[in-house]
Structure 1
Amino acid sequence: MKMFGRTILVLLLLWKQDSVRSVRLVELRVPTHEPEGGMALLGCQYDMEGDTLYSVKWYKDGREFYRFVPKNEPPVYYFETPGVNVDVARSSNTVVALMNLTQESAGHYRCEVSGEAPHFTTVFRQKYINIHLLPKGGPRVMGLREHYRLDETVLANCSLPPSRPKAHLKWLVNDRPAPSEYVLGPWYRVSTDRPDAAETILQLSFYATTADFVNGAVKLKCQATIAPLYQRETESTHYIAFPFTITEPPDAEEIKDHAASVQDSLAALLIPIIFLILV
């Protein structure tokens, strides 16, 4: 019985020792969205909890591209991988710097941390990076004029240079979303230079009325969004062209002179009539 108790105690102590020396991955910092041509910092924070670090490895879509082994000299290894360009000078056991991101850079990135022998306890975690092709410039509006007559059609197209993914365009009239009946589209036109990207077009069409032209003016705005990396807008103000001009009312002196002139005209007309009656 005593032997059985000692055996249980030894097993418990060994289990406790192993549990204390269990590698723990504290935080994985991998951006979810990055632009083409940019850079990304991949962070992997871990706690050895009494164990000794054997290696930190990074994988993209299951393929190893970076390894840090503190006992080796040099400790850093970089394996060429399509879409993965590592800035070794800025990388370490906890950070990997990627540069010159391309469409091929998108994928699952996994950090794997291992403890030393004899257990080589390993923990890992992964996240996905989306790579966006952002448009060169902001939204462009064509077809608008500065002045419109009442009941004339206001017609304009808002377009955004090619992007990936497709952009979300939105028209606003006096800082409020344009009614659905005012909007046509969107339409997409594939880029000849980048078949993976498309230009986005959204049309605005409505009749010029006093409901939209408040105090004779309307403010139109086109917003372009590619969340969460891009948001631009263009804004312009347009006016009602009145077909007539309002003249200033005559002043009191003009009215007085006009009344005197009317009285003189009546007197000149009545005097001959009275003379004929008396004769």
Structure 2
Amino acid sequence: MSNRRLISFDLQADFGFFKKPDYNDGVLLTYNMLHKPALLGILGAIIGLEGYRQKGEWPVYYRRLKNLPVGIEPLEGRHEKGSFRKSVVKYTNTVGYANRDGNLLVEESMLIRPAYRCYLLLEEENADHRKLYDYIRQGWAEYVPYFGKNEYAAWFGGTLREYRFEDFIPETNFRISSLFIKEGVLSEKQVTASFSLSLMEMMNESSFVYFERLPVGFHPQLMQYELADFAYTDWMLQASTQIGNLYKLEEGEKTKIIQLF
């Protein structure tokens, strides 16, 4: 194993619920995209790191994995222009301690068949990273990973990919295959589609851009989500676009650009 290893694996489930801290007319909302704190929890479950045990203390998995660079890409064929299908489900909790005044009624949004390709930049010197590589490669997990709730079990077996990679500094127009943290007004950086007379076809065609404000970690004192503005798009971007932490990946004949954060 070389000093650094960039891998990906696919996480998918029948349902998902990545709880937002806000509400909409009494309905508990979910983030559409898998975010870094949730992914770190899943990685911790895979290699058996403990979760939350005591109020006011970071869980073991977060302390040990928070500096791991990750990238996230919604799986092709499972989303519509970046959005996963959603539904609202209603629960009735009849347990006495849940609501002393009667039954507790809960409405909760739910993702339908969410699936993501997760990229990890692993370090040889880090024992947790070595264990992650071995467990993901073999499809093992110490604890069952899930998408936000115990009943939304996720699976990942047999999906590990390994890439040749290098830092990417744009010199020509480019597309980003993963979610990325946007800086400034993205529409100002889009390459306009045009018709090529020599090729007799449209060039730089695109169809969507998806935005979502997602957690990237936790505030060290408040223990609340720290958020960043993310985008996911098939736009071709101008070479002058300023986006940090981009990597060029090679897998056989194929190449792609992703962001790790």
With a CA cutoff of 8 Å and minimum separation of 6, indicate the structure with the bigger relative contact order. Answer: 2
> TM-score under structure 1 normalisation?
0.21
TM-score, L = length of structure 2: 0.21
Counting helix residues as a fraction of each chain, which structure ranks higher?
1
